[in-house]
Amino acid sequence: MGADLGITNYIHTSKNLSVDTLDLSDEYDRYAREQRKLARKEHGSNNWEKQRQQVARAKRKIKRKVEDFQHKLTTWLVKKYDVVAVEDLDVKPMLETSQNAKSKQDAAWSRFIELLEYKGELHGTHVETVEPRGTTKECSVCGVETAKPIWVREHSCPACGHKEDRDLNAAKNILTRGLRQLGLGQSESTPVQTALPTFTPHREAVDAKRVVEAGSPGA
């Protein structure tokens, strides 16, 4: 299975399963309220220290919910699949340039991969991190690259006519690269071409809350 870190969801897999991003809006609202209260306290006073602890608790709650979500999702992935391929993303520059940095921070992709690799060893699952460059542009059928802006959510290949969800196409490319690294995929015999930008099959969506409550997307 290949997994693409989604823009509109947490991950989108090569099996056309999308897992929603965990909704932490209530937790972030509380965190912001506690920070505003702290700003009104006299720095260093007893009341300031008590409120500082409230801020810390609110922050810990966010962290724990993210970690719980990641633990359950990664456990399900390594138990269900023999091979899990993911992008080897450098998240830091993404956070620095993204207008939606908080969501990417919630994703905590580096931690997610660490958990996958750790649990992969425990369950005998191959976890492969692959080069992310071109996974979105490249057609998963013919290999032709098509540039597309972030708001274009469908992959449409001008060379072979293949059309499908943008993230699904990327996830398939990620899986192909992971299999090649394991020596299980086809060799790269088709030269990569580049086409001009152009402007989907049914997918199964999983609410993040189901992952947290049930322990796996399929439960």
Catalytic residues: 4, 87, 167
CA distances, 93 to each of 100, 164, 170 (Å): 13, 29, 20
Q: Where are the alpha helices (DSSP H) in 40-192?
A: 46-80, 91-97, 101-107, 109-123, 166-181
Instruction: Name the residue among 120, 113, 130, 116 with its Cα closest to residue 176.
Output: 130
Strands of the sheet containing 126-130, edge to edge, are 126-130, 83-87, 2-5, 11-13, 17-19, 204-206
Cα separation, 188 vs 16, whole angstroms: 24
Q: Is 156 helix (H, G, I), strand (E, B) or coil?
A: strand
Phi, psi values for residue 157, rounded to 5°:
-85, 120
Q: Which amino acid, residue 132?
A: P
**How far apart, in Å, do the first and last CA atoms of the chain sit?**
18
Cβ-proximal residues to 28 (8 Å cutoff; 6+ apart), any chain: 62, 102
